[in-house]
Structure 1
Amino acid sequence: MRTFADEIAAHGAAAPDRVALTTPTGDVTYGELAARVEAVAGLLRRAGAGPERVCAVAVERGPDAVVAMAAVVRAGAAFLTLDVEQPPARLTALVTSGGADLLLAADDALAARLDLPIPGRPVLLTDETTATATGTGTATARREPVAVTPDLLAYVSHTSGTTGEPSAVLIEHRGLDNYLRFVARDFGLGPDTVALQVAPLGYDASIRDTFAPLLAGGRVVLLPRGEVLRPESFGPAVRQYGVNTLLSVTPSFLSHLAGRPDAGELLDGVRLMVSSGESLRPYLTAGGRALVPGRLVNQYGPTECTMTSTRHTVPAAAPDTDNDVIGTPIDGVVVRLLDASLAPVADGEVGEVCIGGAGVARGYRARPGRTAERFVPDPLGPPGARLYRTGDLARRSPDGLHYLGRSDRQIKIRGYRVDPAEVEGALLTHDAVAGAVVTADTDAQGRVFLLAHVTGTLDTVTDPALRLHLARTLPPYLMPRRFVRLAELPTTRGGKTDRTALAQAGAGR
Structure 2
Amino acid sequence: MNPHGPTAPPTLTRMFADSVAAHGDSPAVSDDSGRRLTYAELDRASAAVARQLIEAGVRREDRVGIHRERDVDLVIGILGALRAGAAYVAVDQRYPKARRELMLRAAGVRVTLVDAAGAEQLDPGFNPLVQRYDPSVGAPRTAGPDLPEPDGQDAACVLFTSGSTGTPKGVVVEHRNLVHFVTNPELPRLTQADRVAQIANVSFDTFHWELWSSFWFGAEIVMMPSVPDLVKGDPGRELRRRRITALLSPTMAFNHIAAEDPDVFSSLRILQTGGDVVRPAACRDILAGKFDGELVNLYGPTEGTTAATAHRITEVLHDATSVPIGRALSGVLLHVLDPELRPVPVGTPGELYIGGAGVTRGYLGDPARTAERFLPDPLGPPGSTMYATGDLVLERDGVLDYLGRNDDQVKIRGYRVEPREVERSLIAHPGVLDAAVLPQGSDQDKRLVAFVVLQGRTTVPQVRAHAQATMPDYQVPSEFLNVPEIQATPHGKRDTAALLDLLADRGRRRSGYTAPATDTERYLAGVWEELLGTERIGTDDDFFELGGNSMLAFRLSRRIARDNGAFVTLESILSNTVLTDMAAATDAAPRKGDDT
Using structure 2 for the length normalisation, give the TM-score.
Answer: 0.78
Relative to structure 1, the CA distance from residue 283 to residue 413 in structure 2 (aligned partners, 3 Å threshold; closer, same or farther) is farther
Relative to structure 1, the CA distance from residue 147 to residue 244 in structure 2 (aligned partners, 3 Å threshold; closer, same or farther) is same
Confirm or deny: 8 A CA contact 1:347 1:396 kept in the other structure. Answer: yes
The worse-fitting range, judged by mean Cα deviation, of 251-260 and 73-82 is 251-260
Matching residue of 1:275: 273
Q: Is residue 2:103 matched to residue 1:103?
A: no
Relative to structure 1, the CA distance from residue 75 to residue 310 in structure 2 (aligned partners, 3 Å threshold; closer, same or farther) is same
Matching residue of 1:467: 464
Matching residue of 2:211: 210
For residues 418-429 of structure 1, what are the structure 2 equivalents within 5 Å?
418-429=417-428
Question: Which of 156, 179, 192 is the matching residue for 1:177?
Answer: 179
Relative to structure 1, the CA distance from residue 299 to residue 227 in structure 2 (aligned partners, 3 Å threshold; closer, same or farther) is closer
The secondary structure found in structure 2 opposite 1:182 is: coil
Matches of 1:320 and 1:181, distance apart in 2: 35
Question: Could you tell me which amino acid in structure 2 is paired with residue 404 of structure 1?
Answer: L
Q: Deviations over 1:350-383 (max 9, x none)?
A: 1111111111111111212111111111123332
Confirm or deny: 8 A CA contact 2:255 2:444 kept in the other structure. Answer: no
Matching residue of 2:150: 148
For residues 271-310 of structure 1, what are the structure 2 equivalents within 5 Å?
271-281=269-279, 283-284=281-282, 287-291=285-289, 292-310=291-309
Q: Deviations over 1:320-351 (max 9, x none)?
A: 73234111111111110111111111101111
Relative to structure 1, the CA distance from residue 415 to residue 446 in structure 2 (aligned partners, 3 Å threshold; closer, same or farther) is closer
Question: Could you tell me which amino acid in structure 1 is paired with residue 14 of structure 2?
Answer: D
The worse-fitting range, judged by mean Cα deviation, of 36-45 and 450-459 is 450-459
Matches of 1:116 and 1:55, distance apart in 2: 14
Matching residue of 1:409: 408
Question: Relative contact order: is structure 1 or structure 2 higher (C-alpha 8 Å, sep ≥ 6)?
Answer: 1
Matches of 2:495 and 2:473, distance apart in 1: 27
Matching residue of 1:163: 165
Relative to structure 1, the CA distance from residue 162 to residue 323 in structure 2 (aligned partners, 3 Å threshold; closer, same or farther) is same
Using structure 1 for the length normalisation, give the TM-score.
Answer: 0.91
Matching residue of 2:372: 373
Q: Is residue 2:189 matched to residue 1:188?
A: yes
The worse-fitting range, judged by mean Cα deviation, of 218-227 and 58-67 is 218-227
Question: Could you tell me which amino acid in structure 2 is paired with residue 80 of structure 1?
Answer: V
Confirm or deny: 8 A CA contact 1:20 1:218 kept in the other structure. Answer: yes
Matches of 1:329 and 1:242, distance apart in 2: 31
**Distance apart, 1:254 and its partner CA:** 1.8
Matching residue of 1:251: 251
Matches of 1:417 and 1:405, distance apart in 2: 13
Matches of 1:484 and 1:176, distance apart in 2: 43
Matches of 1:33 and 1:318, distance apart in 2: 46
Question: Which of 16, 19, 23 is the matching residue for 2:27?
Answer: 19
**Distance apart, 1:116 and its partner CA:** 5.8
Matches of 1:387 and 1:240, distance apart in 2: 43
Question: Unpaired runs of 5+ in structure 1?
Answer: none
Confirm or deny: 8 A CA contact 1:351 1:395 kept in the other structure. Answer: yes
Matches of 2:122 and 2:319, distance apart in 1: 47
The secondary structure found in structure 2 opposite 1:490 is: coil
Matches of 1:68 and 1:283, distance apart in 2: 40
**Distance apart, 1:447 and its partner CA:** 0.6
Indicate the structure with greater strand content: 1
Relative to structure 1, the CA distance from residue 385 to residue 490 in structure 2 (aligned partners, 3 Å threshold; closer, same or farther) is same
Confirm or deny: 8 A CA contact 1:39 1:138 kept in the other structure. Answer: no
Question: Could you tell me which amino acid in structure 1 is paired with residue 221 of structure 2?
Answer: V
**Distance apart, 1:231 and its partner CA:** 5.6
Confirm or deny: 8 A CA contact 1:490 1:501 kept in the other structure. Answer: yes
Matches of 1:376 and 1:92, distance apart in 2: 31
Question: RMSD of aligned C-alpha atoms?
Answer: 2.4
Relative to structure 1, the CA distance from residue 134 to residue 198 in structure 2 (aligned partners, 3 Å threshold; closer, same or farther) is closer
Relative to structure 1, the CA distance from residue 376 to residue 191 in structure 2 (aligned partners, 3 Å threshold; closer, same or farther) is same
Matches of 2:56 and 2:237, distance apart in 1: 43
Percent of residue pairs bearing the same amino acid type = 34
Matches of 2:232 and 2:319, distance apart in 1: 27
**Distance apart, 1:13 and its partner CA:** 3.5
Confirm or deny: 8 A CA contact 1:342 1:379 kept in the other structure. Answer: no
Q: Is residue 2:128 matched to residue 1:128?
A: no
Matches of 1:11 and 1:195, distance apart in 2: 16
Matches of 1:320 and 1:271, distance apart in 2: 27
Matches of 1:453 and 1:328, distance apart in 2: 40
Matches of 1:451 and 1:60, distance apart in 2: 31
Matches of 1:283 and 1:43, distance apart in 2: 51
**Distance apart, 1:104 and its partner CA:** 1.6
The worse-fitting range, judged by mean Cα deviation, of 291-300 and 236-245 is 291-300
Matching residue of 2:591: none
For residues 218-233 of structure 1, what are the structure 2 equivalents within 5 Å?
218-225=219-226, 229-230=230-231, 232-233=233-234
The secondary structure found in structure 2 opposite 1:34 is: helix
Confirm or deny: 8 A CA contact 1:175 1:306 kept in the other structure. Answer: yes
Relative to structure 1, the CA distance from residue 211 to residue 182 in structure 2 (aligned partners, 3 Å threshold; closer, same or farther) is same
**Distance apart, 1:58 and its partner CA:** 1.0
Question: Could you tell me which amino acid in structure 2 is paired with residue 377 of structure 1?
Answer: P
